[in-house]
Chains A and B, each alone.
Chain A
Amino acid sequence: MSQVSHALPTRPSVSLAPTQAVTLRINGQDHLLQIAPWTTLLDALREYLDLTGTKKGCDHGQCGACTVLINGKRINSCLSLAVMQQGEEITTIEGLGTEEQLHPLQQAFIDHDAFQCGYCTPGQICSAVGLISEGRARTEDEVRELMSGNLCRCGAYTNILNAVMEVVRNELKTGS
C-alpha cells in the first residue's frame, strides 16, 4: 500500500442513475423497459413508450389528467412508480376503442362537444370508464361528485357531465 501513496486522487464517482428491467403490460401488450426506480408510470408511458395520450397536468395527484386504469380501476399515474405496476393490466386512452369503432364514451364526448382544448379529455374518459364499472353513480349529482378527481381548465364540465350521463343512462338501461 505504501508504495502507491501518490496514486491519483479519488474522484467523486460520476455514474449514470441505476436502472432496472421492468415489464409493463399495457393495453394487452407486454413492454420491456430499462428504467430508474423513480420513474413514474406517467413518465414511463409518455417518455419511454410514446404513449402520449395520457397527459401530465399537475404531476401531484391534483388534476386527474394522468388517469389510467389498473386492472379496470382508475388511478393517477403521476403518483405511481412504474416498478410497482409490473404484472398489472394497464389500460390507457390508446387502449380504449379503435379509430373505426370508438369506445361509447369517446363517441359521447364527440357528440356532446365535451372538450375545448382537449388536454383533460383522455383523463376524463379513462376516469369515466372507471366510474361506470364502479357502478356507484346514477344521478347527475353522483356523477359530478365521483368525477371530481378530474379538473378541466377550459370549464367544459357541463358537456362532460352530459356525455358521461348519456353513457351512464345507457348502461343502466342495458346492464343489470
Chain B
Amino acid sequence: MNSFTYFPAAAVDLAVREKVAHSNAAYIGGGTNLVDLMKENVARPTHLIGLKHLPLAAIENTTDGGLRLGALATNADTAWHPEVERRYPLLSQAILAGASPQLRNMATDGGNLMQRTRCYYFYDLATPCNKREPGTGCSAIGGYNRIHAILGASEQCIATHPSDMCVALAALATTVRVSGPNGERTIRFEDFHRLPGDQPERDNTLADGELITSLDLPPKGFATNYSYLKLRDRTSYAFALVSVAAALELDGNTITDARLALGGVAHKPWRDTAAEALLIGQPATADTFRRAAAKVVAGAQGHAHNAFKIELAKRAIVRAFKQATEMTPATDSNAFLNSNP
C-alpha cells in the first residue's frame, strides 16, 4: 500500500469539497474493494475521505411510494431490511447471493455500485491492461478470458462488472442520487455504468468529485413473481459467471409487465428492454421466455474460454423466468442445494 492521509468527513458538502481539493483522493465506504485494490497497488490514492460518519445510512420511504436506500446503508442491512424483503425481495435475494456475511456487513450500497472488475489482469501489475493503464493493451483478449464479457465489449476491454446487487437494481429501474461540486443530480440506473468503448478506464458516468448519496427504488417492486438466479463455479462465496434478475407482472397467465437484467456478461449490469417488450402481452410459457432469451444474446460474442456463457445465459434466462412464474425464486440452479431437510 502507498502512503496516504485519512480524513473522516462529517457532512456531504465537506466530503465533496475535500475530494475536489485533492488531486488523488478517493472516497472510502466499507473498504472491501478499495483496501483490497490498494494492497495490490492497483489503486494508489494519497488521501482517503472516510464516508462512514455521513448521515446516509437510513432506508426510508419516499413520497412517491418508493424506497430510498442511503448510500452508506450496508449491503446486509439492506438485504434484511423488512421493507426491502417485503417490497423488493428480488433485491434482497441478489444481495444475499453475493460475497460473504462478513463482507456484506462492511460493504455499503454506494460502494457496491463503484466496485471494480475482477478481471485477473486488471489486478496483475505485471500485465498490460487498458482499464488500469490506458493504452497498454488488453491481456484478456487472446489471454485467459473465462470470466469475461459476451455483450457490449470493445476492442479495448472485455471486462465485466461483478456486482449482484446492481443486476437487481437495474431490473428494478432504480435512480442513483448524487451530490457533487455543482450540486445534486439524479442518474437513471442504466445510464450510471457505461460500456468500455475506447475509454475502458471509466466504469461509470460519475463526474469528478461526485458522491453517491442514495439509491431510490420506484414504487413497483415485482414482489410476487421474481427470481435472481446466479450461476458460478461454486455455489457460495463466488462471483457470477452468469446471473439473471427476472421479474414479471402477471394477469392470469398473461405477462403484463416484465423486467430482465443480466450479470457477469458485460461491462455493466445488462438490462435488455427490447427483450422485456417481447414478453409483454404474451403467455408466461417456456416458448415465450426462449424468444426473449434469443433476443438478449443475438449480438453476443464469445472468446476462447467464455463462449459457453452464451448458451448458459439463454438457459438461465428461461429458468429464472420459469422460477418467477411459479413463485419459486432460487439463487442456485441445483434443486438439491435449495431443499432444506
Write the residues of chain A forming the contact surface with B, with a CB cutoff of 8 angstroms: 17-18, 20, 36-38, 40, 59-61, 64, 67, 70, 73-76, 79-81, 83-84, 127, 130-131, 134, 136, 139-142, 144-150
A159–chain B nearest beta-carbon distance, Å: 18
- A148: contacting residue among B8, B105, B237, CB under 8 A: B237
Q: Bound complex: CA of A147 vs CA of B39, how far in Å? A: 25
- Contact count band on B: 20 to 34
B residues near A150, Cβ cutoff 8 Å: 100
Cβ–Cβ contact A145 & B236, under 8 A:
yes
Cβ–Cβ contact A64 & B102, under 8 A:
yes
Cβ–Cβ contact B340 & A127, under 8 A:
no
A168–chain B nearest beta-carbon distance, Å: 14
A residues near B3, Cβ cutoff 8 Å: 17-18, 36, 38
The answer to whether B80 has its CB under 8 Å from any CB of chain A is yes
B235–chain A nearest beta-carbon distance, Å: 8
Q: Bound complex: CA of A149 vs CA of B106, how far in Å? A: 13
Please provide the chain B residues from 326 to 341 with a CB less than 8 Å away from any CB of chain A in the complex: 337, 339-341
The answer to whether B294 has its CB under 8 Å from any CB of chain A is no
Please provide the chain B residues from 8 to 52 with a CB less than 8 Å away from any CB of chain A in the complex: 8, 28, 30-32, 35-36, 38-39, 48, 50, 52
B residues near A84, Cβ cutoff 8 Å: 6, 8, 28, 31, 50, 52
The answer to whether B308 has its CB under 8 Å from any CB of chain A is no
Q: Bound complex: CA of A15 vs CA of B65, how far in Å? A: 56
In the complex formed, the residue of A with least CB distance to B50 is: A84
Please provide the chain B residues from 162 to 219 with a CB less than 8 Å away from any CB of chain A in the complex: none
Cβ–Cβ contact B105 & A79, under 8 A:
no
- A142: contacting residue among B1, B38, B48, B340, CB under 8 A: B340
- B341: contacting residue among A83, A139, A146, CB under 8 A: A139
B residues near A131, Cβ cutoff 8 Å: 101
A residues near B237, Cβ cutoff 8 Å: 148-149
A12–chain B nearest beta-carbon distance, Å: 14
B residues near A64, Cβ cutoff 8 Å: 100, 102
B residues near A70, Cβ cutoff 8 Å: 105
- A80: contacting residue among B39, B106, B236, B340, CB under 8 A: B106
